[in-house]
Amino acid sequence: MNTASPLKSHNAREISYFQAIFEAHQEEMFRDERVVMIGEDISLYARAGILDARLEQRIFSAPISENGFCGMGVGAAMTGLRPIVDLTIASFIYLAMDPIVNQAAKIRYMTGGQATIPIVFRAAMWHAGANAAHHSDRPYPMLMNAPGLKIVVPATPADVKGLLKSAIRDDDPVVVFEDHSLWFRSGPVPEGEHLTPLGVASVVRPGDDVTLVAIGGARTVALEAAAALADEGCSVEVIDPRSLVPLDRPAILGSLERTGRLVIADPANRTCSAASEIAAIAAEEAFHGLKAPIVRITTPDVPIPFSPRLENPLYPAAADIVDAVRRLR
Amino acid sequence: MPTNDSRRIALLRSQLAIRVFEEAVRDQHAAGLIPGAVHLSIGHEGAIAGACAALADDDYVIGSHRSHGHPIAKGADFGRLMAELMGRVGGVCKGKGGSMHLTDHSVGVMGESGIVGGGLPLAAGVALSAKVLGNGRVCLCFFGDGASNEGSFHESLNLAAIWKLPVVYLCENNLYGATTPARSVVAVEDIADRAASYAIPGVVVDGQDAEAVFAVVTEGVERARRGEGPSLIEAKTYRFGEHAEGLMIPVAYRDEAEVERWKLRDPVTMLRARLIGEGVISAEGAEALEAELKQQVAAAVAFAQDSPHPESEAALEDVYSHPIAGGGR
């Protein structure tokens, strides 16, 4: 459970998700000189004043070589640096599957624990922006199937800052999947040091009738749905897992024990989505307490089309969630 | 500083160590004590020993699936390497890496990639850490002719070149990628020619002549240490055995006469004859060296056979730096 919700913080100010990302970078780069950045077009950040110019020496603005520079990050992590590798857009991760899945995820294990790979891969999911199928994937479920990686899906400025800082300090490879549609939304972020632990869910809205687990950007629509349902007298508990690996099972199962109803909203494609895994855990661990079938609200199994008229209806929407919850009662 | 003679004898010893070790591996594999695929470095000793002799103790090595020679030439313990090949607890990777991944961080061998070409970006990253941390270390990266066709080869050489990283890329070109002749799949005459694309030195060397390899790798290492960037060195060599032990390939993809011709240029025999001829070591001295190594390798085999098999529970360990809920540890 989230006991240190930024929403309850006494000294929070509002900044954007994007600003929160770079606050995290800057704080960690000043705190630890082993932290370096590797990625495409990133020298802009120091030159534009988004990052302190004194950090420029540790910003490696790379050629378009995802396989090369992700693998470079892994080698650097193995020998004393703590790289933050920016993949720019999550769909580009496929070009670096060998360094991420075969190397970063497995090297500690394959070397019998000799290697430590403290690396962060940032992948921004540019869906819902009319960018078509080569720029719009939400590929975190694939990587949930790669043991050795940790995966976070922050949905607020406070969480992206807190999780990114924790990820940079973590001794394992962490992939941070950012929802690009959140980049320029603002929210409260505490002043000063703010760390969000990996593997700890946030109960965003308490409730008693239905457990609604919202992954990444689905948190926004989940809260809209919960508000609409409250007007109908239905009390929905909204849980943002924030971290998919490790996953805060007790938070989800504990809520489900009280509500007996589970809806999961996940912007990923349906088959083997994060929602699928959470549904399976619930079916295995909480079956006898279920009062209704588990429902997954996901994106259908199609590549993302270009036309906004085609694209936008594909993702989980508040109305879909409201309909699903109504059917459970 | 070692005298020139003692250095040359050490080079012979290093080659002999690989040969004697690999012959024992072949026997233990045939006897069923080493499971899985085994790729021997017999025939490659000149390239491996010559290259590693150019390194300081704290320099790094990244290698390939044909991995046994690299840690031997870097001074790893024979017993722990042999135990790894047998999948035992006393193995250098606790039985989780095996033949294609003989990694020993205690001697700077940071990883051996079973994925062809997987090590090249990592080596660039290892060199990046040396540069950023300013520790004066150099990375030597072994790969084969096959890897030079991977995108990772080209991406890594470009990255290492643009940032002048202290890395020496050493191609053990044994003329065949499994059964495919390199001349049928490599567009250039020499793999070293590819260095021109990255404006770095590209040198062809006789891989059967360990002293020639030592000389050119020394130049590459010195250049790297001076901050002038990477080199590409192509050691022309030959594997005397099959691609992997026990493979029965029904087609004669190598001409018998070609195999015999290369065996006349056995790198171990060549250096041994030269050093005896030049009075650097006596014939008896060379025999005593070989006998001593045979004894050490026999002791390594005994150590490995006595090392316990891992408990099945150990399969769940070493996935993460600290155990995480709901998965491997």
Beta-carbon contacts of B264 under 8 Å, excluding residues fewer than 6 positions away, are none
CB B172 within 8 A of CB B47: yes
Q: Are residues A277 and A185 both part of a single domain?
A: no
* Calpha distance A242→A248 (Å, rounded): 9
3-state secondary structure (DSSP) of residue A189: strand
Q: Are residues A288 and A225 both part of a single domain?
A: yes
- In this model, does residue A7 exceed pLDDT 60? no
Distances (CA, A) of A84 to A113, A167, B129: 22, 9, 13
* Interchain pair B105, A69: CB under 8 A: no
Angle at which helices B283-306 and B78-85 pack, to 10 degrees?
50
Residue of B nearest to A250 (CA): B325
How many structural domains does chain A have? Answer: 2
Q: What is the model's pLDDT at position A329?
A: 78
> What is the identity of the amino acid at B27?
D
* Calpha distance A284→A287 (Å, rounded): 6
Q: What is the model's pLDDT at position A2?
A: 42
Is A200 touching B (CB cutoff 8 A)? no
* Calpha distance A26→B43 (Å, rounded): 51
* Calpha distance B134→B126 (Å, rounded): 12
Rg (CA), chain A: 19
* Calpha distance A127→A85 (Å, rounded): 20
Angle at which helices B4-30 and B283-306 pack, to 10 degrees?
40
Residue of A nearest to B316 (CA): A109
Q: Are residues A156 and A237 both part of a single domain?
A: no
Chain B residues near residue A110 by CB distance under 8 angstroms:
93, 96-97, 101, 103
Chain A residues near residue B96 by CB distance under 8 angstroms:
109-112
Q: Which residue range is the domain that position A184 belongs to?
A: 12-190
Q: What is the pLDDT of residues B218-232, one digit of tens each?
A: 999 999 999 999 999
Mutation for testing the B interface, residue in A110, A116, A143 having most B CBs under 10 Å: A110
Beta-carbon contacts of B6 under 8 Å, excluding residues fewer than 6 positions away, are none
Shortest CB distance from B319 goes to which of A109, A111, A199? A109
- CB pairs A-B closer than 8 Å: 172
Query: Between β-strands A243-245 and A262-269, what pairing exists: parallel, antiparallel or unpaired?
Result: unpaired
* Calpha distance B82→B225 (Å, rounded): 33
* Calpha distance B235→B142 (Å, rounded): 10
Q: Are residues A117 and A249 both part of a single domain?
A: no
* Interchain pair B103, A81: CB under 8 A: no
Q: Are residues A211 and A129 both part of a single domain?
A: no
Residue of A nearest to B98 (CA): A110
Is A114 touching B (CB cutoff 8 A)? yes
Distances (CA, A) of A254 to A2, A218, A261, B83: 13, 21, 12, 46
* Calpha distance B90→A282 (Å, rounded): 40
Q: Are residues A83 and A116 both part of a single domain?
A: yes
Question: Nearest C-alpha of chain B: how many angstroms from A313?
Answer: 34
Q: Are residues A174 and A241 both part of a single domain?
A: no
* Interchain pair B127, A75: CB under 8 A: yes
DSSP A312: G
> Would residue A195 count as lying in a domain?
no
* Calpha distance B62→B71 (Å, rounded): 10
Angle at which helices B4-30 and B267-277 pack, to 10 degrees?
150
Residue of A nearest to B155 (CA): A68
* Calpha distance A181→A311 (Å, rounded): 14
* Interchain pair B320, A108: CB under 8 A: yes
Identify the CA nearest to A149 among candidates A123, A119, A180, A124. Answer: A119
* Calpha distance B46→B266 (Å, rounded): 9
* Interchain pair B103, A111: CB under 8 A: yes
Beta-carbon count within 10 A of A56 CB: 14
Q: What is the model's pLDDT at position A123?
A: 98
Distances (CA, A) of A329 to A209, A229, A326, B20: 9, 11, 6, 74
Q: What is the pLDDT of residues B155-168, one digit of tens each?
A: 999 999 999 999 99
Is A284 touching B (CB cutoff 8 A)? no
Domain B4-316 has CATH 1.10.10.10: no
Distances (CA, A) of B198 to A290, B125, B157, B159: 62, 17, 7, 9
Shortest CB distance from B96 goes to which of A34, A70, A110? A110
Chain B residues near residue A60 by CB distance under 8 angstroms:
128, 163
State the burial class of residue B162 (Cβ atoms within 10 Å of its Cβ: 0-12, 13-18, 19+): middle
Distances (CA, A) of A258 to A232, A250, A251, A288: 20, 12, 11, 12
Is A170 touching B (CB cutoff 8 A)? yes
- In this model, does residue B102 exceed pLDDT 50? yes
> Would residue A5 count as lying in a domain?
no
pLDDT average, residue stretch A199-212: 98
Q: What is the model's pLDDT at position A1?
A: 39
Q: Are residues A82 and A206 both part of a single domain?
A: no
Q: What is the pLDDT of residues B21-65, one digit of tens each?
A: 999 999 999 999 999 999 999 999 999 999 999 999 999 999 999
Q: Which residue has the tokens 């594909």?
A: A314
Q: Are residues A213 and A167 both part of a single domain?
A: no
Q: What is the pLDDT of residues B109-136, one digit of tens each?
A: 999 999 999 999 999 999 999 999 999 9
Q: What is the DSSP string of B27-71?
A: HHHHTT-S-S-----TT-HHHHHHHHTTS-TT-EEEEESS-THHH
Q: What is the pLDDT of residues A43-61, one digit of tens each?
A: 999 999 999 999 999 999 9
Average pLDDT, chain B: 96
* Calpha distance B215→B207 (Å, rounded): 12
Shortest CB distance from B97 goes to which of A76, A110, A116? A110
* Interchain pair B319, A147: CB under 8 A: yes
Q: Are residues A179 and A208 both part of a single domain?
A: no
* Interchain pair A75, B110: CB under 8 A: yes
Chain A residues near residue B163 by CB distance under 8 angstroms:
60
* Interchain pair B121, A99: CB under 8 A: yes
Q: Cis (ω within 30 of 0) for the bond into A267? A: no
What is the domain partition of chain B in residue ranges?
Answer: 4-316
* Interchain pair B124, A75: CB under 8 A: yes
Q: What is the model's pLDDT at position B329?
A: 52
pLDDT average, residue stretch A191-208: 97
Query: Which helix (H) or strand (E) covers residue A214, if one does?
Result: strand A210-214
Beta-carbon contacts of B287 under 8 Å, excluding residues fewer than 6 positions away, are none
Q: What is the pLDDT of residues A280-307, one digit of tens each?
A: 999 999 999 999 999 999 999 999 999 9
Chain B residues near residue A281 by CB distance under 8 angstroms:
326
pLDDT average, residue stretch A246-257: 98
**Within 13 Å, how many C-alpha atoms sit on residue B110's CB side?**
32
- In this prediction the ipTM stands at 0.96
Angle at which helices A66-78 and B151-162 pack, to 10 degrees?
70
pLDDT average, residue stretch B186-212: 98
* Interchain pair B120, A71: CB under 8 A: yes
Mutation for testing the A interface, residue in B320, B322, B329 having most A CBs under 10 Å: B320
Q: What is the 3-state secondary structure (H, E, C) of A233-260?
A: CCCEEEEECCEEECCCHHHHHHHHHHHC
Is A116 touching B (CB cutoff 8 A)? yes
Shortest CB distance from B111 goes to which of A60, A70, A115? A115
Helices (H), chain B: 4-30, 45-52, 69-73, 78-85, 119-133, 151-162, 182-185, 210-225, 256-263, 267-277, 283-306
Is A60 touching B (CB cutoff 8 A)? yes
Is A277 touching B (CB cutoff 8 A)? no
* Calpha distance A199→B253 (Å, rounded): 53
> Would residue A56 count as lying in a domain?
yes
* Calpha distance A211→A230 (Å, rounded): 13
Task: Give residue A10's pLDDT band: very low, low, confident or very high (50, 70, 90).
Answer: low
Chain A residues near residue B324 by CB distance under 8 angstroms:
150, 199, 245-246
Is A113 touching B (CB cutoff 8 A)? yes
Of A190, A210, A241, which residue constitutes the final position of a domain?
A190
* Interchain pair B327, A147: CB under 8 A: yes
Residue numbers of A annotated as active site: 135
Rounded to 5°, angle at Cα B216 from B214 and B217 = 65
Question: Nearest C-alpha of chain B: how many angstroms from A131?
Answer: 26
Q: Which of residues 117-156 of A touch B (CB under 8 A)?
A: 147-148, 150
> Would residue A7 count as lying in a domain?
no
Domain holding A265: CATH number?
Answer: 3.40.50.920
Distances (CA, A) of A293 to A232, A286, A325, B15: 21, 12, 11, 67
Tokens linked to A27: 């704080």
pTM score: 0.96
Average pLDDT, chain A: 96
Residue of B nearest to A114 (CA): B105
Shortest CB distance from B97 goes to which of A73, A112, A147? A112
Rounded to a whole number of angstroms, the distance between the first and last alpha carbons of chain A is: 26
